[in-house]
Amino acid sequence: MRAVGTFSAYLEHAYMDWLYVAGIGIFFIGLMASIALHELGHLVPAKRFGIRVPQYMVGFGPTAWSFRRGETEYGIKWIPLGGYIRMIGMLPPRPGDDPTKLRGSSTGPFQGLIDSARQAALEEVRPGDEDRVFYRKKWWQKVIVMAGGPLMNFVLAFVFFSILLVGIGLPASAPIVSPQTNTCVIPVTEKRADCRPGDQPTPAANAGLKPGDRLVSFGGQKIATWDDATRLIRSHGAGPVQIGIVRDGKPMTLQATLIAQDRPRLDDPKRTENVGFLGVMPTEVMQKQSMGQVVGYMGELTGRVAMSLVRLPEKMVGVWNAAFSGADRDPEGPVGVVGAGRMGGEILASDLSAEKKIAIFVNLLAGFNLAIGMFNLIPLLPLDGGHIAGGLWEGIKRGYAKVLRRPEPAHVDIAKVLPVTYALAIMMIIMAGLLLYADLFNPLRLTG
């Protein structure tokens, strides 16, 4: 019998491990699909405006698989941490240079970086491509091409949030007696969940309330939500009251005698107040929302993500402390791709219901798309927002020149800020490395 039990435990452990790995795989498939669609958001308008795109790739590093259609190579690379499309002529040549020819780099560290970048941007320009380079396109076309990627992320986030809120629903407390409801009174000062001999029965237990009973009225006042029930119970204080319930589809009225108890305040759980106490816990249900609520939900979350980006340096200090001093990870702090993948594994291997697992997965992918879209809008190179800012600045300059009837100014030369770009790229690499280390050795967990 012991051997059978051990083998059963082994099978259960192996099954949970398989679910964990499958969860990581499912998350990465969703992430790579999001990256592919982000790059598609750049690719479609680029081709629409006649820009030559030699490559469309999902991932980095060596190419795992690719095919060519027309002038573009489409493929997947081995490192699933991003993607890109390569457009010719991203940076303009210096004034007076022949855009079809390369020139030697200048001395000086910063100017050398700029010159090398110009050469890389022009090295694929072939005869006849002069009007197909990115830098020669109209300013609004540049903005549309570069904004297409983040816009695709926002569309995906909206689709995922719509599936979550409208199709699945959000967890909500329903005025239904939960099976986890205690039948005894446990003082708020005692950190336990089990009843012991000598504990006083709750008013709910004395009144005969059972798990599954839906509360529909309290003292003659209707109950539609758990918040309604909480407000009425707490404000009633000690004393008798009639409670209307529905049990197995049949309406009933029970007589209960509430007691007064010190309970955590609703507005400040660290403090207590003496209120009426019945002794019931709500049942968590998935409550579906309307499309209008999707907009509000996404808007609120967008504001929170924006504030997190503003406080990113501070948040990264917290990640450092968690990585090297063992401090707890901030649930509102940044998490890398590896950490999110581990969350996906934990979700699938958890004992949650299938509906809740799907809901958390969808919410995770929606949140990642929203964060990726907003991060890419930061107006700094090499992010999409840097190119968008360059295009908008070019539009302002040309509009100003048109109003004053001045000659059309040259294309905005974003290569001049490349030293800042390289510094930002180094910072991003350091941040990614720190997140990777923290996600491996002190991961942020969604489940207990």
Which of 241, 270, 269, 271 is CA-nearest to residue 256?
241
DSSP code, position 415: G
Question: Are 413 and 91 a contacting pair, CB within 8 Å?
Answer: yes
- 25: Cβ–Cβ under 8 A, 6 or more apart, which residues? none
Helix (H, G, I), strand (E, B) or coil at 215: strand
Measured in degrees and rounded to the nearest 5, phi and psi for residue 417 equal: -100, 15
User: Annotated catalytic, 39?
Assistant: yes
Catalytic residue among 12, 39, 130, 300, which?
A: 39
Cα 280 from Cα 329, distance rounded (Å): 33
Question: Are 237 and 276 a contacting pair, CB within 8 Å?
Answer: yes
Cα 24 from Cα 17, distance rounded (Å): 11
Tokens found for residue 418? 């490349």
Tokens found for residue 386? 């840097």
Helix (H, G, I), strand (E, B) or coil at 158: helix
Cα 74 from Cα 58, distance rounded (Å): 8
Measured in degrees and rounded to the nearest 5, phi and psi for residue 85 equal: -120, 145
Helix (H, G, I), strand (E, B) or coil at 386: helix
Measured in degrees and rounded to the nearest 5, phi and psi for residue 111 equal: -65, -35
Q: What does each C-alpha distance from 149 to 277, 334, 417 come to in angstroms?
A: 54, 21, 22
Catalytic center residues: 39
